[in-house]
Structure 1
Amino acid sequence: MYRTHDNDLGLLYVKNQDKYTFNLDEVRDPNVKYPNQKKNGKIKVNLKGKNPTDVWQFPKVTSGKNRASKERTPHPAQFPVAVVDRIIKSASKVNDIVLDPFMGSGTTAIVALGLQRQVIGFEIRADYCEIVANRIDDFLRNQELTEAQLSLF
């Protein structure tokens, strides 16, 4: 990812063009204008949605006393969960390993764990490592509580 003021540029590189994961159905746009449009009596569009464009729009992770995003951490350049979610869903499968060589605020780790992926991450700044550790602890605690509540039914 390359970050500018309000835009990020993401590039997809693959080691082997004949063998890589891209889960198109996981990232289709469900907002189809004419979902029941037919051609020769058959539905013309994919019922799972249309192909995503190469421009993605997501709300920013904002800071500030009265306008801070719910997911906001003290990290100065935090990616939105929705961006990382889309990337991980499209480029990996359940139980795959997601590598984050620059963990920062830990968004990739949280999203990967939530999508049932394994995570390996690196971060050299101790203050960022603490943010990541706290986010993972909170995530795992919330996951345990949710599972406990669901087991009541």
Structure 2
Amino acid sequence: MKTRAPRNRTLDLTPEERDRFLQQLVCLERTISAADILNKTICQDVLVALSYLPPNFVDLLIVDPPYNLTKDFNGKVFKQCDRATYADWLDSWIAQLIPLLKPSASAYFCADWATSTAMYPVLEKHFLIKNRITWEREKGRGAQANWKNASEDIWFCTVSDRHTFNVDAVKLKRQVMAPYRNSAGQPKDWDDSGPEHYRLTHPSNLWTDITVPFWSMSENTDHPTQKPEKLIAKLILASSSPNDVVLDPFLGSGTTSVVAKKLGRQYVGIEQNVDYCCLAEKRLVLADIDPTIQGYADGVFWERNTLAVRNRPPKTIPPKS
């Protein structure tokens, strides 16, 4: 384990935890049923694993693939390539995902601005593209001769026009700066029950309320492209129902599976890196201890920095019985 500063809450694995969680991982060698892999982490190359998965079992697909950038994922380097080569790589596994989806399934694909341009034509071949979400990624380095890259995209796709979208589950609680009352003196579209004035607003495709995980957040890991739990929670709540199956074929350190578990969904995650898989398993255990999601409380999403962060003692894994 790395030596961390006292207040650093980044999750690590002890050698004992790694050995323990390694025993829980799944590696597929034949076609299996959905029941064999529900709520499991598959530690395997995605192109191999997909060929063994059963048809029509996924309600929601969440995909955060390597962007077309040279990036080191714990020793395995994804190398940037030309746009055509990257598009062919995308199509090689997206085509294998399609048979796994139910006719009513939805899918979300994460991308940066450059990856989006290569991804869109591939998605258009296989899905109905409903929207492009752009979210503010406030972390990142400035540039001397270019605009700082502070946003990412998520493509919202469906298999058909018969899909789930729970708009009331993903409303944003915003502070009202100039509250308006009707002629009877009653609040119009806002709540005056507390010292601060808020109203619930319909979700748009521009998200500015997301905080990227960092060292003082208990969900933080050393994964280089970890997505925030709050971000994934919006996708899951909007496009699935309790007990639905959520699949993430590039699980990384486990955020999709963790959030699915916290929100009462079933999950399947695929990740080829053993350490990330074990870290995902650790986070899944911790989700039983603390099921909260930063920025999401009382059934609504709050604007960034408007929901007080609760001070909690460091989380620990209970000993195996």
Check if 1:108 corresponds to 2:260. Answer: no
Aligned-partner residue type, residue 12 of structure 1: F
Change (3 A) 1:92 1:25: same
Alpha-carbon distance, 1:59 to partner: 1.2
* 1:3 paired residue among 112, 115, 125: 112
State the secondary structure of the residue aligned to 1:10: strand
Instruction: Tell whether the 8 Å contact from 1:32 to 1:50 is kept in structure 2 after alignment.
Output: no
Matches of 2:182 and 2:255 in 1, distance apart?
41
Change (3 A) 1:45 1:80: same
Matches of 1:101 and 1:127 in 2, distance apart?
16
Residue 53 of structure 1 corresponds to which residue in structure 2?
204
Alpha-carbon distance, 1:31 to partner: 2.1
Aligned-partner residue type, residue 160 of structure 2: N
* Range moving further from structure 2, 1-10 or 22-31: 1-10
| Larger Rg belongs to | 2
Check if 1:81 corresponds to 2:229. Answer: yes
Matches of 1:35 and 1:121 in 2, distance apart?
45
Change (3 A) 1:32 1:73: closer
Cα displacement string for residues 54-88 of structure 1 (whole angstroms, at most 9, x for unaligned residues): 1112111124xxxx322111211111111011111
Aligned-partner residue type, residue 81 of structure 1: E
Matches of 1:143 and 1:119 in 2, distance apart?
18
Matches of 2:249 and 2:190 in 1, distance apart?
36
Cα displacement string for residues 105-150 of structure 1 (whole angstroms, at most 9, x for unaligned residues): 111111100100000110011111111111112223x169xxxxxx
Greater fraction of residues in strand: 2
After TM superposition, the structure 1 = structure 2 runs for residues 1-150 of structure 1, keeping only pairs within 5 Å, are 1-3=110-112, 5-17=149-161, 19-31=162-174, 33=176, 38=182, 45=189, 49-57=200-208, 58-63=210-215, 68-140=216-288, 142=289
Identity of aligned residues (%): 30
Matches of 1:124 and 1:132 in 2, distance apart?
12
Change (3 A) 1:36 1:129: same
Q: Which has the higher contact order (CA 8 A, sep 6+)?
A: 2
Matches of 2:239 and 2:287 in 1, distance apart?
22
Q: Structure 1: which 5+ residue stretches go unaligned?
A: 145-153
Aligned-partner residue type, residue 112 of structure 2: R
Q: TM-score w.r.t. structure 2 length? A: 0.38
Q: Structure 2: which 5+ residue stretches go unaligned?
A: 1-109, 114-148, 192-198, 292-321
Matches of 2:200 and 2:235 in 1, distance apart?
17
* Range moving further from structure 2, 2-11 or 116-125: 2-11
Change (3 A) 1:27 1:37: farther
Number of residue equivalences = 138
Aligned-partner residue type, residue 6 of structure 1: A
State the secondary structure of the residue aligned to 1:11: strand
State the secondary structure of the residue aligned to 1:73: coil
Matches of 2:238 and 2:180 in 1, distance apart?
26
